Amino acid sequence: MKSNNLIPFICYGAGGHAAVVESAVIRGGEYYICGVADDGVAPGTRLIHAKVIGGKDQLGKFLENNISKMHVAIGNNFIRCKIISEMEKSGFSIITVKHPDAIVETKAKIDYGCFIAAQSVVGTRAIIGRGCIINTSAVVEHDCILENCVHICPGAHLAGDVKVGEKTMVGTGAAVIPGISIGKNCVIGAGAVVIKNVKDNATVVGNPGRIIV
């Protein structure tokens, strides 16, 4: 997949989410993955085309060769946030990857290190913090604010003016009505319908959503 017209970067993480990221990269035509780092996956393992080169101990050679761009493709919010911080301190520049079939509306702001997946929508004036995932067919409507390392899972919909705290996961197919505030480190279960504000560290399930933790 290498081309002189494409920008090389390291993909950190070799799980299923990383394969989705590589698919978006292939479609996008701006970058290519020149190596995949993962301490728990055997060197030579492929995502789609890109291969695992080893773990963290292999990354220094890329910086030595002036390859400093990286995307952290890990679905777990806490681990992704930790790795982003570690890699920045090591000298890597953490990039956002956007699928060409995603829609980012006028005046929306997306910080670095995010993944914006196929068929997802980021509404006008929405603010997306660093390291967030807006997954396949998710909708983050106008004026929403996502703090750092939030994951909006496939098919989840946030109506306008919703605020989501850092490291919170909004599960597959969940829906949040307008103006709701969700705290940090929360889990909104798959298919939940959130109609009331949610405190920090809560788990919400059901329709209407109820806090169980």
What value does the CA radius of gyration of the chain take, rounded to a whole number of Å? 17
In the chain the domains, ranked by start, together with CATH numbers, are 7-95 (3.40.50.20), 96-202 (2.160.10.10)
Give me the sign of the Cα torsion angle 191, 195, 199, 200: positive
Q: Measured between alpha carbons, how far is residue 143 from residues 51, 58, 100, 128 in Å?
A: 39, 41, 22, 10
Residue 3 has pLDDT above 70, yes or no: no
pLDDT tens-place string over residues 110-161: 999 999 999 999 999 999 999 999 999 999 999 999 999 999 999 999 999 9
Residue 142 appears among annotated catalytic residues? yes
Q: What is the pTM of this model?
A: 0.95
Q: Which of 17, 71, 142, 157 is catalytic?
A: 142
- List CB contacts of 66: < 8 A, sequence separation 6 or more: none
Place of tokens 């196929």: 118
- Is the pLDDT at 84 greater than 90? The verdict is yes
Distance, in Å, from the CA atom of 39 to the CA atom of 180, rounded to the nearest integer, reads 39
User: Is 174 in a helix, a strand, or coil?
Assistant: coil
pLDDT at position 5: 84
